[in-house]
Amino acid sequence: MRRAVDEPAGQPILAIDLGGTRIRAAHVSPDLAVACRMAVDTDDEEGVEAVIGRICNLATDVVACAGAAGLPAPVGIGISSPGPLDPWQGIVVAPPNLAGWRDVPLVDRVEAEVRLPAFLERDTNVAVMAEWRHGAGQGAEDVIYVTVSTGLGGGIVLGGRPLIGKDGTAGEVGHMTVELDGPICGDGAPGHAEAIGSGTAIAREGRELLASGAAPQLARLVSDPAQVSAAQVAQAAEEGDAACRAVLDRAWTAIGAMCASLVNALNPEVIVIGGSIAVHHPTLLDAVRAEIDRRAFPRPARRVRVSLAEHGDDVSLIGSLPIVNERLHDPAYRHGQMRTPA
């Protein structure tokens, strides 16, 4: 199982994507082929142990599937998880969208069960690795990945190195302030970009429009006013609802301003935009480009490329390929029984 440090980095891995709604797993080869895809509902309301059991079962099933298919055995496991988490100790700290998870030593648990060295990283850091090494940011040294979906998150690579931070929280770009007294974010702070630009924020604005009677097209689309989705607000906007259009425009402006701030502060070469909302709304990229041109210095604004993520939902699987291969022999991540000296 153990390999010499100078062996080529590209070995197949087992990727696990732990999300608030679904757990996905797959075998990922160095040529980026994703095989033996499997998924189950997270059902975090059933408790931490039940979810850990599902993760381990899924991993075991993928290993068996890969063996049966004649694929080379994975050399390790990469686990993408919502943050905050401790990537060095392999501990999920307290993600808001995993009920009851608090300081869970997920890597130890998975290693003990699946008998492969495992590595934990925040979902957005996994995504930036996928796009930097194998996607829209390939070849660049300074890459920022921004995900626009329920929340607004990010991962940062600078000078050819992922930026993790001493607490593992670097890259939380959605929690940059874009309005000093703006709407309250999920974490209680005012005016974060996430509180204006995320799917959650768009849906909240939609609910408020319905309550005030200001969005007639939206009212026709929605049966339960408490269940408005960002997708419905967007659909109403497309059908000519001016108030919904204004909500989307404001969301795009907030995301674009946040990106422009990153251009001025970090001078990146590429900003990769992913996440379900980005995939469904290509005009978001145009808006980000326009806000960068409006709010950032001319030279870094000209430099930076704004691109849609190439790997879509698979960023959280493919990104584990470089992570596992690079950390397999990195002593900073040696912990747990699979990584005691052989």
Residues 57-116 that bind a copy of itself (CB under 8 A): 84, 93
Residues paired with residue 158 on neighbouring β-strands, in sequence order: 161
341's enclosing H/E stretch is none
User: Considering the complex, what minimum distance in angstroms separates the CB of residue 30 from a copy of itself?
Assistant: 27
- Examine residue 326 and tell whether it contacts a copy of itself (CB under 8 A): no
**Interface with a copy of itself, residue 264, by CB under 8 A:** yes
Q: Write out the binding residues for a copy of itself, residues 9-68 only, by CB under 8 A.
A: none
- Residue 260 and residue 269 in contact, taking contact as beta carbons nearer than 8 Å: no
179 touches a copy of itself (CB under 8 A): yes
- Output the smallest distance, CB 169 to a copy of itself, in A: 5
Residue 266 interacting with a copy of itself (CB under 8 A) = yes
Question: Across-strand partners of 148?
Answer: 152
Coil, helix or strand at residue 79 = strand
Lookup result for tokens 């703006």: 182
Of 26 and 257, nearer to a copy of itself (C-beta) is 257
The answer to the question of residue 206 lying near a copy of itself (CB under 8 A) is no
Among 63, 66, 92, 258, binds a copy of itself (CB under 8 A): 258
Q: Site for a copy of itself (CB under 8 A): which residue of 100, 265, 280, 330? A: 265
1 vs 189, beta carbon nearer a copy of itself = 189
Number of residues that bind a copy of itself (CB under 8 A): 52
| Residue among 142, 205, 241, 314 that touches a copy of itself (CB under 8 A) | 142
Angstrom distance (rounded) from CA 210 to CA 222? 9
Please tell me whether residue 241 binds a copy of itself under the rule CB under 8 A: no
- Return the structure tokens found at 320: 């584990």
The answer to whether the CB of 186 falls within 8 A of the CB of 196 is no
Phi then psi for 294, rounded to 5 degrees?
A: -85, -35
Closer residue to a copy of itself (CB): 12 or 168: 168
Decide: is 161 part of the binding site for a copy of itself (CB under 8 A): yes
CB of 66 to a copy of itself, least distance (A): 35
Query: Which of 8, 70, 159, 213 contacts a copy of itself by CB under 8 A?
Result: 159
Distance CA 87, CA 124 (A): 13
Smallest separation, CB 224 to a copy of itself (Å):
31
- Could you say whether residue 192 binds a copy of itself (CB under 8 A)? yes
Nearest to residue 142, comparing CAs of 160, 165, 169?
A: 160
36 vs 27: CA distance, rounded Å:
6
Task: Say whether residue 216 binds a copy of itself (CB under 8 A).
Answer: no
Instruction: Please state, in angstroms and rounded to a whole number, the distance separating the CA atoms of residues 207 and 201.
Output: 10
DSSP 185: P
Which residue from 278, 266, 289 is spatially nearest to 311, judged by alpha carbons?
Answer: 278
d(CA 306, CA 169): 23
Q: Tokens 């607000």 map to which residue?
A: 233
Is residue 253 at the binding interface for a copy of itself, with CB under 8 A as the rule?
A: yes
9 close to 326: Cβ distance less than 8 angstroms = yes
**Closer to a copy of itself by Cβ: residue 149 or 177:** 177
Contact residues: a copy of itself, CB under 8 A:
84, 93, 141-142, 154, 156, 158-159, 161, 163-173, 175-180, 187, 189-192, 250, 253-254, 257-258, 260-262, 264-269, 294-297, 299-300, 303
